[in-house]
């Protein structure tokens, strides 16, 4: 009768305990490591030469599914850090990080405007490691965009897109687009103001496309504005369609590298410009087992440790207030990697600059290897190509700067001053003072600003029981950190008053703090100024005001989701 | 070379694990801090929404007015649910009432029913904003004053009829809770900015005293309180007309 597992005991009787156990370990090791035995595994980790013939390390690549995806070796020159900077490898690494953290986050997330934001709050305040996972996912996404873009820049400047790698380049451009849209589609999911308005701006570009624009916009958003339908669509793009496309194209891209043409050697090596000894060294084989594998594991662990440390002590993914379709925040911008596009939009016509030009740019990008068929990859033989690359890179940087709120249509001066100190979202100097840093003082004369932006003169002078601070009068300053903020406010008001052409004269600012109830203070900031009414012929200035009211609760620490550098 | 890589990798893994453990140890404190902060921010937002939408009737601090009861009171937080025989929590009761309004008045002395505020029921507020308001109202519970729920009398402030009228429209009678006048106000009733120029003083007087006499197109009968005839004096009504005259045609 055969008893399962009895083989080992039979061997025990034949060979003795020691031999039977070591044979079993050897057998198991070979089964798990695709034919590599204990002795060979030790040799691998020590960097010793193979212990058996034929080389069991190559055999492993035939037997193991994971290893068969990899090339058997690279040439040493292709692995020089300064040649590749490991950027392609890191792109895949971040894709894996995003997949794992994304899958876990999906457990706690529902793509519906009713609950998406409260799910975010739940992830941040009730889920163990919830903030860690979200930060990791967000940071990984930002780094992935950077790394993929740099990978393309590297391939361009080393001329690695040339024959025989033209098609690999083409799939790479697809992957760049997929990465951008993966990140962009994820932007909407937290359903905060940042999400809603960044994506509104992004999709409004689709609207400008000739002929199909409005339809395309409708397909993306699901309705005229982004709402439940749009959120679900972006969610499905983010978790299903785009990752699927990414996996397919990563596979094609890597298959080309692994099986067809490998990673390019530095041009000087390939074209024999370097000294022969260096060329010989660069062409030495570096086997995947053990050299590449250990190197890759080292890079994975190092990047992971760097990310985790950065998150633990520095990084926090922002979460703004709940999405409000009725209120566009001042100076809304697209995600940073689309700022160049927003910058282009400021140059003129929406269809021309927002749709046609970007399409042409990406078409040219796709076609780079076919436009530039010159065989030499050396920089000295590609002067036009390198110059074009540098010009494009500088243009992108300039356009990105133009896309930020710094270069744009300014709001009225009073609103700009308020936005500078009490931004709609984020912290700003006033919120930084916090509940405790806002002294309420005693009842003082104050004025109110009414609904038509006129100063209300009918209010009794002791109307406001609280601290009333006039920035132009330092004797009203309460002391402490608040003095510093009030002085900065005064400088900002003076700056706007002295500026020409903004119809803002003789500005002043009244800052009022009231104890509203226990643990809650009410702050009213009123900017007053003189302006000449539109269409006025006699140039007589009238008095205007603008008020911003905000409440401060004792525990609402706005710094929690800010980067803590320099805190 | 391989040794160095394995050593660096091991150190990196140990650093990663140590950091993750460190984060894990701090998780309970971090979660508490975040809960407090998010509740605090919710109260801040809720206070702003309350000031804009709720205070015209319930008072800036929930002290009540001739139009709606005091909700910032010990009695409200302690007895309200029992009086109603409501089995849910206070938060649930508040959420329900704000979202869906009240189909019947709890006391006939109030001039109007609580309107529906949630977008789900045709109101102006998103449900997350109502959640913020509930958080704000719940923050009153621990220091709620122990006073009755008698409405304060309607008062007019100001030296000229226009000023007194304005104070009545904005605060005393609270017309702007439902009507837009001069750019701001509610949309429950018709925009009254130009009502003086278009319809004249008698129409205004009639509409205040007998709201059902003429119903503006697109609005339904029975929403405007019928009680202003009792709560407003003749002088009050003249002041309101004076104010509406002053904003009309602007």
Cis peptide before A418 (omega within 30 of 0): no
CB-based contact (8 Å) between A564 and chain B? no
The answer for A 533-552 residues in CB contact with B (under 8 A) is 549-552
CB-based contact (8 Å) between B175 and chain A? no
What does the alpha-carbon distance between residue A451 and residue A258 come to, in Å, rounded to a whole number? 68
CB-based contact (8 Å) between A457 and chain B? no
What does the alpha-carbon distance between residue A346 and residue A354 come to, in Å, rounded to a whole number? 9
Label the pairing between strands B180-181 and B184-185: antiparallel
A279 pLDDT exceeds 60? yes
A456 pLDDT exceeds 70? no
What does the alpha-carbon distance between residue A556 and residue B40 come to, in Å, rounded to a whole number? 5
A564 pLDDT exceeds 80? no
Q: Report pLDDT for A177.
A: 96
Are B16 and A321 within 8 A, CB to CB?
Answer: no
A567 pLDDT exceeds 50? no
Domains of chain A: which residue ranges?
6-68, 86-327, 415-561
Are B183 and A452 within 8 A, CB to CB?
Answer: yes
Best mutation target, A316, A517, A549, to test chain B (most B CBs within 10 A): A517
Q: What integer best gives the mean pLDDT of chain A?
A: 88
B165 shares its domain with B194? yes
Domain count, chain B: 2
Best mutation target, A127, A305, A312, A431, to test chain B (most B CBs within 10 A): A305
Which of A125, A312, A556 shows the shortest C-beta gap to B19?
A312
A538 pLDDT exceeds 90? no
Domain boundary among B143, B177, B192: B143
What does the alpha-carbon distance between residue A71 and residue A61 come to, in Å, rounded to a whole number? 8
Q: What residue of B is the nearest CA neighbor of A44?
A: B2
* DSSP run (H or E) holding A125: helix A116-125
**Across A296-314, average pLDDT:** 94
In a domain, B209, yes or no: yes
Q: Please report the number of interchain residue pairs, chain A to chain B, with beta-carbon separation below 8 angstroms.
A: 133
B110 pLDDT exceeds 50? yes
In a domain, B34, yes or no: no
The matching CATH number, chosen from 1.20.810.10, 2.30.42.10, 3.40.50.150, 3.40.50.300, for A86-327 is 1.20.810.10
The answer for A 43-62 residues in CB contact with B (under 8 A) is 45-47
Q: Report pLDDT for A448.
A: 74
A157 pLDDT exceeds 90? yes
Q: Report pLDDT for B66.
A: 78
The vertex-B174 CA angle with B113 and A448, nearest 5°, equals: 140
Q: Which domain holds residue B72?
A: 43-143
Are A560 and B43 within 8 A, CB to CB?
Answer: no
Beta bridge partners of B125: B118
What does the alpha-carbon distance between residue A148 and residue A158 come to, in Å, rounded to a whole number? 15
Calculated CA dihedral for residues B176, B179, B181, B185, nearest 10 degrees: 60
Sequence-distant (6+) residues with CB within 8 A of A192 are A117, A120, A319, A320, A321, A322, A323
**Across B166-192, average pLDDT:** 77
Alpha helices in A283-439 (DSSP H): 293-313, 339-345, 350-351, 357-371, 383-403, 413-421, 428-433
Most confident of A204-213, A286-295, A469-478: A286-295
Are A45 and B2 within 8 A, CB to CB?
Answer: yes
What does the alpha-carbon distance between residue B213 and residue B222 come to, in Å, rounded to a whole number? 11
A459 pLDDT exceeds 50? no
CB-based contact (8 Å) between B85 and chain A? no
**Across B57-80, average pLDDT:** 87
Residues of A whose CB is below 8 A from B59: none
pLDDT confidence band for A464 (50 / 70 / 90): low
pLDDT tens-digit series, residues A106-121: 999 999 999 999 999 9
Domain boundary among B86, B109, B143: B143
Residues of A whose CB is below 8 A from B20: 132, 308
CB-based contact (8 Å) between A69 and chain B? no
CA distance from start to end of chain B: 83
Chain A: give the shortest CA distance to residue B198, in Å.
22
In a domain, B108, yes or no: yes
Q: Report pLDDT for B150.
A: 47
What does the alpha-carbon distance between residue A26 and residue A526 come to, in Å, rounded to a whole number? 80
Strand, coil or helix: B118: strand
Most confident of A182-196, A236-250, A288-302, A342-356: A236-250
A104 pLDDT exceeds 90? yes
**What CATH number corresponds to the domain at position B116?**
1.10.760.10
């Amino acid at each position: 009768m055969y008893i399962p597992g009895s083989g080992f005991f039979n061997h025990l009787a034949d060979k003795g305990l020691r031999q039977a156990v070591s044979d079993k370990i050897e057998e198991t090791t070979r089964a798990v490591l695709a034919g590599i035995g204990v002795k060979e595994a030790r040799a691998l980790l020590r960097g010793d030469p193979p212990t058996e013939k034929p080389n069991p390390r190559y055999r492993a690549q035939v037997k193991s599914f994971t290893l068969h995806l990899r090339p058997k070796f690279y040439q040493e020159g292709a692995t020089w850090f300064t040649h590749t900077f490991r950027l392609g490898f890191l792109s895949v690494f971040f894709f894996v990080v995003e997949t794992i953290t994304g899958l876990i986050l999906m457990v706690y997330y529902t793509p519906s405007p009713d609950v998406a934001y409260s799910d975010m709050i739940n992830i941040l305040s009730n889920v163990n490691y919830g903030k860690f996972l979200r930060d990791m996912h967000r940071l990984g996404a930002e780094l992935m965009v950077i790394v993929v873009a740099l990978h393309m820049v590297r391939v361009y400047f080393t001329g690695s897109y040339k024959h025989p790698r033209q098609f690999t380049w083409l799939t790479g451009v697809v992957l760049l687009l997929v990465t951008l849209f993966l990140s962009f589609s994820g932007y909407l999911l937290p359903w905060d103001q940042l999400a809603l308005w960044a994506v509104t701006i992004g999709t409004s570009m689709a609207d400008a496309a000739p002929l199909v624009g409005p339809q395309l916009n409708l397909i993306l958003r699901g309705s005229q504005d982004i709402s439940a339908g749009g959120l679900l669509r972006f969610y499905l793009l983010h978790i299903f369609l785009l990752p699927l496309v990414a996996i397919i194209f990563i596979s094609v891209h890597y298959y080309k590298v692994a099986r067809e043409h490998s990673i390019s050697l530095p041009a000087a090596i390939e074209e024999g410009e370097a000294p022969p000894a260096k060329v010989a060294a660069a062409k030495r084989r570096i086997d995947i087992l053990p050299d590449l594998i250990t190197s890759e594991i080292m890079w994975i662990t190092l990047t992971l440790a760097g990310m985790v440390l950065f998150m633990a002590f520095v990084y926090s993914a922002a979460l703004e207030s709940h999405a409000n379709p009725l209120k566009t925040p001042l100076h809304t911008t697209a995600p940073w990697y689309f700022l160049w596009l927003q910058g282009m939009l400021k140059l003129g016509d929406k269809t021309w600059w927002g749709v046609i030009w970007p399409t042409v740019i990406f078409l040219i990008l796709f076609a780079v290897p076919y436009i530039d068929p010159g065989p030499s990859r050396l920089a000295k033989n590609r002067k036009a190509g390198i110059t074009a690359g540098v010009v494009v890179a500088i243009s992108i940087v300039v356009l990105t700067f133009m896309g930020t709120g710094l270069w744009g249509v300014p709001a009225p001066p009073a609103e700009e001053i308020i936005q500078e100190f009490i931004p709609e979202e984020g912290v700003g100097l006033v919120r930084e003072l916090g509940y405790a840093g806002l002294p309420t003082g005693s009842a003082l004369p104050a004025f109110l600003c009414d609904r038509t932006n006129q100063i209300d003169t009918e209010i009794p002078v002791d109307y406001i029981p609280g601290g009333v601070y006039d920035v132009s009068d330092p004797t009203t300053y309460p002391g402490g950190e608040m003095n510093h903020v009030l002085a900065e406010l005064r400088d900002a008001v003076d700056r706007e008053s002295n500026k020409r052409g903004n119809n803002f004269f003789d500005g002043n600012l009244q800052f009022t703090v009231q104890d509203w109830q226990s643990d809650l203070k009410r702050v009213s900031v009123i900017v007053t100024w003189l302006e000449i009414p539109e269409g006025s012929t006699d140039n007589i200035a009238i008095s205007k005001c603008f008020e911003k009211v905000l409440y401060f609760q004792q525990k609402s620490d706005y710094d929690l989701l800010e980067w803590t550098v320099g805190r | 070379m391989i040794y160095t890589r394995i050593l660096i990798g091991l150190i990196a893994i140990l650093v990663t694990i140590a950091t993750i453990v460190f984060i894990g140890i701090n998780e309970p404190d971090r979660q508490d801090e975040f809960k407090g902060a998010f509740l605090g921010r919710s109260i801040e937002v809720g206070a702003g929404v309350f000031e804009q939408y709720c205070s015209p009737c319930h008072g800036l601090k929930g002290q009540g007015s001739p139009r709606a009861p005091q909700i910032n009171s010990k009695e409200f937080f302690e007895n309200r649910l029992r009086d109603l025989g409501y089995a849910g929590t206070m938060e649930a009761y508040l959420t329900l009432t704000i979202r869906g309004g009240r189909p019947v008045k709890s006391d006939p002395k109030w001039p109007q029913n609580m309107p529906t505020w949630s977008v789900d029921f045709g109101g102006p507020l998103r449900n997350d904003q109502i959640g913020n308001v509930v958080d704000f109202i719940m923050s009153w519970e621990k220091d709620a004053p122990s006073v009755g729920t008698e409405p304060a009398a309607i008062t007019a402030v100001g030296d000229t009829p226009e000023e007194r009228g304005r104070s009545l429209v904005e605060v005393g009678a609270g017309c702007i809770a439902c009507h837009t006048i001069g750019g701001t106000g509610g949309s429950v009733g018709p925009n009254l900015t130009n009502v003086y120029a278009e319809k004249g003083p008698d129409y205004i007087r009639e509409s205040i005293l007998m709201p059902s006499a003429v119903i503006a197109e697109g609005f339904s009968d029975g929403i405007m309180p019928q009680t202003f005839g009792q709560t407003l004096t003749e002088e009050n009504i003249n002041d309101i007309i004076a104010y509406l005259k002053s904003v009309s045609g602007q």
